[in-house]
Amino acid sequence: MALFSRSKKIDTDPQKISRLLSRAVEEIFVRESLERKLRSGKELRVKLGIDPTSPNMHIGRAIVLWKLREFQDLGHKVVFIVGDFTARVGDPSDKLAKRPMLTAKQIKENLKTYREQVGKIIDLSKAEFHVNSKWLSKLTFLEIADLAECFSVQQMSHRRNFAERMERGEEISLQEFLYPLMQGYDSVAVKADVELGGIDQLFNLKAGRVIQKHYGLPEQDILVGPMLLGTDGRKMSSSWGNVININDYPKEMYGKVMSLRDELVIEYFKLCTRLSDEEIFVIGGQLSSGGNPRDAKMRLAFEIVKLYHGEEKAKEAEENFISVFQKGAAPAEAEEVHAQKGAALSEILVGKGIVHSKSEWQRIVRGGGAEIVSGGKITDPRFSVNENILLRVGKKRFVKIILD
C-alpha cells in the first residue's frame, strides 16, 4: 500500500496573524510581504539569533522569543541560532563604545543553560537549534572579502552609533564592521524567510536581505520588537544588573517585578505577559482612576512568574511576598527606616548610619552582601527604592524600608 505524506497545516486565522503583527512589535519590513506570506498557508522559516554574552537571558530578550513562539504556534518552522561565533566579535548594535571580545571559555560557560532557557518559551522538539560557528568558522578569507563587497564604508559609517562615536573622535575597528556581514550570512545558511530581532539590530537584520540577494536567495522579511526598560528605568542590560532573568528563582523574580517603577507596569503587561489586550486595558483604566499600583504590580509579578515557573510557584511567590511585606513577617531584629519613593538606597543607608559611606555601600554590593529578601541580590550600587522592601545588609543585619 502506498503511503502519502500530508502537507503541514499552517494556521492562517486573521485574528492570530493580526495579533502577531501588532502586539510587542516596533517595526516590520516589509509588512505587506510578510502579511501576504502568513495568509498564504506556506510554511515559513523564521530565524532568531542571540549571542551568549551572558549566562542568563532576561525577559527583555524574551520578547522576541515569545514572538518566535507565536510563529511556531501557527505552524511555521522556527530556527534558533546561538551566536557562539558572532559573540567572539561582539555586536556593536546600540553600543556607544567597542564591546570587548569574549573568550571561547567565557562563551562555553555562558552557553551551559541556553537550550534549557530557550526551551521555557519555544518547543525545541519542533524547532531547529544551531550554533553559527558551524558555518562561519569555515568561511575563507576570500569569501569574507566577497561578503564585504556588499557594503560601502559610507554605509557603515552612517550607522547611528558608529556616526556618534566618530563624531566624538573614538576609534571603530574594522572588526565591528564585520558583524552585520556575519549575522546576514546566518540568514543565508539557514535560508530564512523571516528574521526577528530587537529594534537596536535593525541595521544587521537589513544586512541579511542584502547578503541573501548577493547569494541569489529571496530576501527575508523583518520583524523587530521594542526595547524593554529595566527595573531602574534604564535599558535592561545584564551589565547594569537591572534585569529580570527568565531563570531567576520564583520568589526572586516576583520581588524584582515588585520593585519596578510604577510608570513601567502597563508596558510590562504588554511586552512580558500573555494577558489579552482587553485585560490590560482594564488594568490600565484602574490605575488611571487612582487604583493602587501595588495591586497591579502583584498581578504583573504573578503573571510573569507563572509564565516561566508555572502557576503553583507563582502562588507560592505571591504568598511569600504577602507574608513578608503585607503582614509584616520580617525578622524581629529588622530596623525600620522611612524614606521617600525613588530615593537612592545608598543615600538612605548612609543617612541613617547603617553604612558609613557610599564607597562602603559599593563594596558591599559588589561583594554580594546586599539582598532584597524575596527579591534577590542588589547588583547596582545606584539602586533606588520604589516599593517597601526588606533589605539584608551583610550576613545578619536586616532593614525594613517603608515609603512615606
Q: What is the pLDDT of residues 208-235, one digit of tens each?
A: 999 999 999 999 999 999 999 998 788 8
Classify residue 61 by its DSSP letter: T
Tell me phi and psi for residue 138, to 5 degrees. -95, -10
Contact 38, 19 (CB under 8 A): no
Structure confidence at residue 180 (pLDDT): 92
Rg (CA), the chain: 23
Which set of grid coordinates corresponds to residue 285? 483604566
Q: Which residue, chain included where needed, has cell 529588622?
A: 334
Between CA 389 and CA 384 the distance in angstroms is 11
CATH number attached to the domain at 330-404: 3.10.290.10
Q: Which residue, chain included where needed, has cell 505524506?
A: 5
Contact 198, 224 (CB under 8 A): yes
Structure confidence at residue 35 (pLDDT): 97
Contact 117, 247 (CB under 8 A): yes
Intervals of CATH 3.10.290.10 along the chain: 330-404
Intervals of CATH 3.40.50.620 along the chain: 14-225
Q: Which residue, chain included where needed, has cell 524614606?
A: 339
Who has greater pLDDT, 365 or 305? 305
**This prediction's pTM:** 0.79
Classify residue 162 by its DSSP letter: H
Asked if the model's pLDDT at residue 308 lies above 80, the reply is: yes
Decide yes or no: CATH 1.10.240.10 for domain 229-329: yes
Intervals of CATH 1.10.240.10 along the chain: 229-329
Between CA 222 and CA 94 the distance in angstroms is 18
**Cβ of 293: how many Cβ atoms within 10 Å?**
17
Tell me phi and psi for residue 46, to 5 degrees. -110, 120
Asked if the model's pLDDT at residue 330 lies above 70, the reply is: no
Structure confidence at residue 269 (pLDDT): 98
Who has greater pLDDT, 243 or 266? 266
Report the chain's mean pLDDT, rounded to a whole number.
Answer: 89
Name the fold adopted by 14-225: Rossmann fold (3.40.50)
With CA atoms as reference, report the closest residue to 26 among 64, 69, 79: 64
Helices (H) and strands (E) in the chain, counts: 19, 11
The predicted model gives 126-146 an average pLDDT of 96
With CA atoms as reference, report the closest residue to 195 among 215, 225, 223, 227: 223
- Checking DSSP bridges between strand 77-82 and strand 128-131, what pairing results, if any? parallel
Between CA 372 and CA 370 the distance in angstroms is 7
Between CA 253 and CA 314 the distance in angstroms is 10
